[in-house]
Amino acid sequence: MNIHEYQAKEVFARYGIPVPPGRVATSPAEVRKIASELGKPVVVKAQVHVGGRGKAGGIKFGTTPSEAEKVASQVLGMSIKGLVVEKVLVTASIDVIAESYLGLVVDRRAKKPVFMASPAGGVDIEEVARTTPEKIFKMHVDPCVGLLPYQSRFLASKLDEDSKLRSQIASIAHKLWRVFWEMDCSLAEINPLVRTKDGQIIALDAKINLDDNALDRHPDLAAMREGETEHDRMAREMGLSYVKLDGSIGCCVNGAGLAMATMDLIKHYGGEPANFLDIGGSSSPDKVLTAMKIICSDPKVKAVFFNIFGGITRCDDVATGIVAALKEMDVKVPIVIRLTGTNEEKAREILGKANLKSTTSMDEGVRQVLKTAQEGVS
């Protein structure tokens, strides 16, 4: 689960990581009031779950409360990569001398968290890694002992030469580790971590991604869930992994790896997937029905491709779900089914009674769904 910047800063503040003063607002008048209370120039920042807010015009400055109100009216309601801005964070503007990066993610290959620090902050860290990898310093943390003091000092030494500032950075690194570890994060990031004119180190931005599997241990964090679409909610409640994309081929697959391979093959043959949808490893007909409702509600979808490799997932369960969906829904797009594995013969029998055909070849299934999408026939 992703949370907004203002929520991540609330978490940072709990742990003593310095952040600029500010509050969230939902109207220009509220922005004006907050700016007046802060009594200094402010930054108005769009709160949406997507990067590139600054380039999209979602971050603006206001030197007076009136100006803050004016720029807020431009930001609120705007669309950034398809997401409408409903909230803005109003924070005091900071005089920045230098920007750096400090973040923690899970290194799955090493099976432990890895700290990353870079003096090249304020820009996309992936871009830094691509163009100037020598500016990124990595350090794994043993989860059995946590971040040790010498490791905090090592990270700080890579970000500033001033010994007093290094002490502040090392303290922030230790607090960021506690956030990451105690809140069950998959990512905790400060970009940029800035040095101010008066010699303070402040987290100017904040990003936290949480492990969904641990949310039961953090009801306060689970309550921060915002910006969820109806389809996202339906998928989450049914245990489906769903990500909307911009293509025209609806995909319903079991397993993340097979889903990725399916999307790759669709693109290989010149198509574009409309979504990533993984029904999981122990699918039920209800899951398939929900998946169909989500996929078919996208007006861009011209055909639906079921690609099922039966293991724990039973092909007959999926077939039953497809037949139930066609009975319950007015499906107006063609459906192509590829299934093989557990109970596939029983599945074909179920599909056959509903006059539905299937193939066992993934390659053939992809080519067929692209053809039917182009022709608009079932």
CA-CA distances (angstroms) from residue 34 to 28, 31, 58, 76, 78?
10, 5, 18, 15, 21
Residues 61, 66: Cα–Cα separation, whole Å? 11
DSSP label at residue 289: H
- Asked if the bond preceding 119 is cis, omega within 30° of 0, the reply is no
150 a catalytic residue: no
Residues 138, 130: Cα–Cα separation, whole Å? 15
Return the closest-CA partner of residue 56 out of 34, 75, 41.
Answer: 75
DSSP label at residue 329: S
69, 189, 242, 344: which one is catalytic?
Answer: 189
Return the closest-CA partner of residue 178 out of 207, 146, 221.
Answer: 146
The angle, 0 to 180 degrees and rounded to 10, between the axes of the packed helices 315-328 and 285-296 is: 50
Q: How crowded is the C-beta side of 204, counted as CA atoms within 13 Å?
A: 25
67 a catalytic residue: no
6, 101, 242, 344: which one is catalytic?
Answer: 101
- Contact of 303 with 277, CB cutoff 8 Å: no
Which positions are annotated as active-site residues?
Answer: 101, 189
